[in-house]
A and B are shown apart, each in its own frame.
Chain A
Amino acid sequence: MTTLGGEMLTRAGTAAPAGFEVPSSPLSPPSARALRRTRIQAAPRWPTPNLREVWAARGLLLFLVWRDVKVRYAQTVLGASWAVLQPVATMVVFTVIFGRFARIPSGGVPYAVFSLTALVAWSYFAGALSGASNSLLSNLGLVTKVYCPRLVIPLSAVFAGLLDFVIAFSILLVAIAGAGIVPSPWAILVVPVSLLAVMMTAAGVGCFLAAINIQYRDVKQITPFLVQLWMYGSPIVYPLSLVPAKYRALYAFNPMTGVVEGLRAAMLGTGPIPAALMVASLAVSAVLLACGTLYFRHVERVFADVA
């Protein structure tokens, strides 16, 4: 940070060539303000996430979040009802197919709330993940025409889905109350921890996919498929107890397992809070976040050249 003193102001005034009028424009001379020096040079091959720079750009982050929300709610036919309709419609389909036809056990609670609890978390996760992975392509102008810490672009997609999550979660509370279930007091802790794990996973994997997406355009087609596979690999339509014991350790590596099982235990009382599983969730999602952002930063150096 180079701070320039008050005497610089007069110097800027004399900087204009003789014969020119003192500008009457409202622009104040730059020397009157403190100027920040930016060093432009080749970054290391594996730069660390520039958290300070991202924090400094939080205004931009907020703007992008606000814009995503606005586009979704103001310019779509269904508007806010989309946030309600998506998990509820899926819940109905799942309840009929998996609850009625396949008779998948739902831990002693109605299958509808059993699946809705998982779907509230999953819909947010799926939306945030695909939003983040497409974020660079849909904001190409921000990548190729101006500079900003590009991490804010996928991150904004993750934050933008939060409003949907809040709406869907309210629906869940109504449904739970309707089913006559009283959530455990642990929910106060479990819900924010689960949300944190979901956000970190979506951000980590989303950053990774976004960085590949800008180089290889067919990732766009792969993402929905990946999300679908991931859903069946998570205990969304079935309880974890249905999974053979020898595979459960493997399931712990999927951060969504701890999230979904934890939410069900806390909100529906389907069993004791799976503390170990939730800690594993947090740990894995933190690792995914670190790897995703590191890879993103690695590729960021060439974004503008390959886009």
Chain B
Amino acid sequence: MTTVMIEAAGLGKRYRIGAFRGRPGSENLRDALVSAALAPARNLRRLRGLADPARRSADPLVWALRDVSFEVREGEVLGIIGRNGAGKSTLLKILTRVTQPSEGHADVWGRVGSLLEVGTGFHPELTGRDNVYLNGAVLGMDRAYIRRRFDEIVEFAGIGAYLDTPVKRYSSGMYVRLAFAVAAHLEPEIMIVDEVLAVGDAEFQRKCLAKMEDIAHGGRTVLFVSHNLPSVQRLCPRAIMLQAGRIVADGPTAEVVDSYLTGGAGHEAYPGHWIDLTQAARTGSGVARFTAARFSSGSARHQLQPFTHGRLEFTLTAASDAPRDVNLSVSIWNQSGTKLINADTTTLERMVALRHGTNSCRFTIERLYLKPGVYVVGFWLGDRVGETLDRIESAFRIEVVDAHPERPGVRLDSRYDGPVACPFEVVEVPEREVESCAS
């Protein structure tokens, strides 16, 4: 049994996106005052609305985080994964007290060192040296303590020559190296790291991962957010997955990552077979929704599997509660959660007519410019103006295979390869043509 270091209970964060809508341009005090002076009636209404929760709810609220509860124990390294906008950064901002939750609470034992979105409490005008002391002071440490740790920090960050340069002149790599070094060496009991590995070279990333392992084995607690799933898998025995602000999976990292990739539905996706979508994790008003999908490249040579430069055809069924014209999109994500393709009928200015009840349509990607690999497919259904009726961010996984399965070609190491395929050729140029170019 170990001590609980973080205990979150029902955390939620609400943003009112309409806050400025009623008062145009009020990010500017002059306009706010003018608007207040010109519209006493509206302001009175607003004031009354403040007292009356029913009126107040007219402003559109967005829950960036809802009902988030979990525990992290001493020495645990918890990975937090989820797509962009899932609420990861909001959660970390709450745990670091940068922003307040709208509901729920969290208990945190000990000091929290953090690196949020590749930044920390650095002051751009201050030198690297002063910023180290500044961050120590923020964490409540005295100068003598920071002085003892100072050399270690500088050595880890590898910025010795730039110590007395203002950090605004640092490269982004140097900046994040120093930020990480400070957060890691000032011995916070809890270390919260958001996407530190997005910047910096491979060597430094390796060092960071090793340092975080070291910290965890020293009995400290680490919360780690990254889009880089392999490093989450390597570093964190346990992970939670956020989706639309809620925790949808919490457990051993391998399982959570797997459900992240399959969108939690866990469908085994085979080409040419119907895949049930009624149970998939989704958002949207739901007045029309996807019910099933099937995909195929139509090529028997590839066992109907999607292949590089090949066709990819989706057959989709959707249920609608009334006749309506809709927009439709198919998106394809890579395994790290980056959207690579969004084929959207909005760009065609051609809507799809749905009848009441069940409908089918065929959606064809004429040429798939994706290298062989595993990708995640998502679907979206929207109305005339783009309001979401149904969005399934990750419906199932597909495997794109080589266009020439029988040809033994060389597969590039994933470190050097890029996800997008393009037709290309290379020919030798005869020497006399080169000379005529040069002259």
Chain A partners chain B: yes
* Residues in chain A within 8 A of chain B (CB atoms): 2, 4, 8, 11-13, 15-17, 20-21, 23, 25, 27-31, 35-43, 56-57, 59-60, 62-64, 67, 71, 139, 141-148, 212, 215-219, 222, 301, 304-305
Please state if B219 and A29 are interface contacts (CB–CB under 8 Å). yes
Task: Evaluate contact between B138 and A2: CB separation under 8 angstroms.
Answer: no
A27 & B187 in contact (Cβ 8 Å cutoff): yes
Q: Which residue of A lies closest to B237 (CB)?
A: A17
Given contacts A147-B97, A147-B98, 11 further A-B contacts (CB under 8 A): A8-B3, A12-B2, A16-B75, A30-B74, A41-B104, A42-B102, A59-B137, A62-B137, A145-B116, A146-B121, A147-B138
Is B121 within 8 A of A215, CB to CB?
A: no
Pairwise interchain contact B29-A25, C-beta atoms closer than 8 A: no
Contact for B219 among A30, A139, A146, CB less than 8 A: A30
B108 touches A40 (CB 8 A): yes
Complex CA–CA separation, A43 to B74 (angstroms): 27
A57/B140 contact (C-beta < 8 A), A36-B109, A40-B107, A145-B98 known: yes
Query: Which of A40, A64, A142, A305 counts the most chain B CB atoms within 10 A?
Result: A40
Cβ-defined contact, B98 with A41, below 8 A? no
Q: Is the CB of B215 within 8 A of A304?
A: no
Sample of 23 A–B contacts (CB below 8 Å): A17-B237, A27-B215, A27-B219, A31-B219, A36-B109, A36-B110, A37-B109, A39-B106, A40-B95, A40-B107, A56-B140, A67-B126, A67-B130, A67-B134, A142-B138, A144-B98, A145-B121, A146-B120, A146-B135, A146-B138, A216-B28, A222-B29, A305-B99
Q: In whole angstroms, what is the CA distance A35 to B27 when docked? A: 41
Cross-chain contact B96 with A147 (CB below 8 angstroms): yes
Rounded to whole angstroms, the CA-CA distance of A295 and B219 in the bound complex is 41
Question: Closest chain B residue to A20 by CB distance?
Answer: B217
Contact of B313 with A by CB under 8 A: no
The answer to whether A216 and B29 have CB atoms under 8 Å apart is yes
Q: A305 vs B16: C-alpha distance in the bound complex, in angstroms?
A: 11
Contact: A141 with B15, CB < 8 Å? no
B114 within 8 A of A: yes
Instruction: Tell me the minimal C-beta distance from A276 to chain B in angstroms.
Output: 36
Question: Does the CB pair B96–A146 fall under 8 Å?
Answer: yes
Residues of B within 8 A of A143 (CB): 98
The total of interchain contacts (Cβ-Cβ below 8 angstroms) comes to 163
- Within 8 Å by CB of A63, from B124, B137, B217, lies B137
B264 sits at the interface (CB 8 A):
no
B393 within 8 A of A: no
Q: In whole angstroms, what is the CA distance A146 to B117 when docked?
A: 11
**CB of A301, distance to nearest CB on chain B (Å):** 5
Q: Which 4 A-B pairs have the closest CB atoms?
A: A216-B29, A147-B97, A146-B121, A41-B105
Contact flag A40-B94 (CB < 8 Å), given A30-B110, A148-B138, A305-B15: yes
A4 B3 Cβ-Cβ under 8 A: yes
Q: Main secondary structure on chain A at its contact with chain B?
A: mixed
| Chain B 130-155 residues near chain A, CB threshold 8 A | 130, 133-135, 137-138, 140-143
A23 engages B218 (CB within 8 Å): yes
Chain B contact residues: over half helix, strand or loop, or mixed? loop
Q: A23-B217, A23-B218 are contacts. A40–B97 as well, Cβ < 8 Å?
A: yes
A216-B27, A305-B15 given; A41·B101 CB < 8 A: yes
A2→B109 contact, CB < 8 A = yes
* Nearest A-chain residue to B109, judged by Cβ: A35
CA distance A203 to B395 in the complex (A): 56
Considering the chains assembled together, what is the distance between the CA atoms of A141 and B220 in angstroms? 25
CB distance from B109 to the nearest CB of A (A): 4
Q: Closest residue to B135 on the A side, CB-wise?
A: A146
Query: When chains A and B are docked, how far (Å) is the Cα of A148 from the Cα of B134?
Result: 11
Which residues of chain A have C-beta atoms less than 8 A from B130's C-beta?
67
Q: How far is the CA of A67 from the CA of B121 in the complex (A)?
A: 14
Distance in angstroms from A199 CB to nearest chain B CB is: 22
State A145–B15 Cα separation when bound (angstroms): 19
Residues of A within 8 A of B101 (CB): 40-42
Q: How many residues of B contact A (CB 8 A)?
A: 64
Cβ A25 vs Cβ B32 within 8 A: no
For residue B346, CB closer than 8 A to chain A, the reply is no
- For residue B402, CB closer than 8 A to chain A, the reply is no
Distance A67 CA – B132 CA, assembled complex (angstroms): 13
A221, chain B: closest CB distance, angstroms = 9
Is B189 an interface position by the 8 A CB rule?
yes
- A38: which B residues are within 8 A, CB to CB? 97, 107-109
User: How distant is A260 from chain B, measured CB to nearest CB, in Å?
Assistant: 29
State A37–B189 Cα separation when bound (angstroms).
11
Given contacts A23-B217, A27-B187, A222-B29, contact A139 B108 (CB under 8 A): no
Give every chain A residue within 8 A of B124 (Cβ-Cβ).
Answer: 141
Q: How far does the alpha carbon of A109 sit from the alpha carbon of B333 in the complex, in Å? A: 81
Whole-angstrom distance between the alpha carbons of A143 and B102 in the complex? 18
* Residue from A15, A67, A212, A222 whose CB has the most chain B CB atoms within 10 Å: A15
B141: chain A residues at CB < 8 Å are: 59
Minimal Cβ-Cβ distance residue in A for B184 = A27
Contact partner, A42, options B100, B112, B137, B218, Cβ 8 Å: B100
Q: In the complex, which of the residues B1, B74, B94, B122 contacts A31, with contact meaning CB atoms closer than 8 Å?
A: B74
Q: With a CB–CB cut-off of 8 A, which chain A residues contact B215?
A: 25, 27
Q: In the complex where A146-B135, A212-B29, A216-B27 touch, is A15 in contact with B107 (Cβ < 8 A)? A: no
Q: Considering the chains assembled together, what is the distance between the CA atoms of A38 and B130 in angstroms?
A: 27
B366 contacts the other chain (CB 8 A): no
If A15-B219, A35-B109, A146-B114 touch, whether A304 touches B74 (CB-CB below 8 Å) is: no
**B75-A37 in contact (CB<8A):** no
Smallest CB separation, A300 vs chain B (Å): 9
Q: What is the 8 Å Cβ interface bit string for chain B, positions 10-28, against chain A (1 contact, 0 not)?
A: 0000010000000000111
State the Cβ distance, A17 to closest chain B Cβ, in Å. 8
- Once A16-B219, A146-B98 are accepted as A-B contacts, the answer to whether A11 and B2 lie under 8 Å apart by CB is yes
> Does A12 lie within 8 Å of B75, measured CB to CB?
yes
Residues of B within 8 A of A57 (CB): 140
Contact A141 to B189, CB < 8 A, known contacts A12-B75, A25-B218: no
With an 8 A cutoff between CB atoms, is B214 at the interface? yes
- Residues on B with C-beta less than 8 A from A301 are 100
Chain B min CB distance to A40 (Å): 4
Q: Are B32 and A145 in contact (CB under 8 A)?
A: no
In angstroms, how far is the closest chain A Cβ from the Cβ of B212?
Answer: 12
Measured between beta carbons, the chain B residues less than 8 angstroms from A59 are 137, 140-143
User: In the assembled complex, which residues on chain A have CB atoms less than 8 Å from the CB atom of B116?
Assistant: 144-146
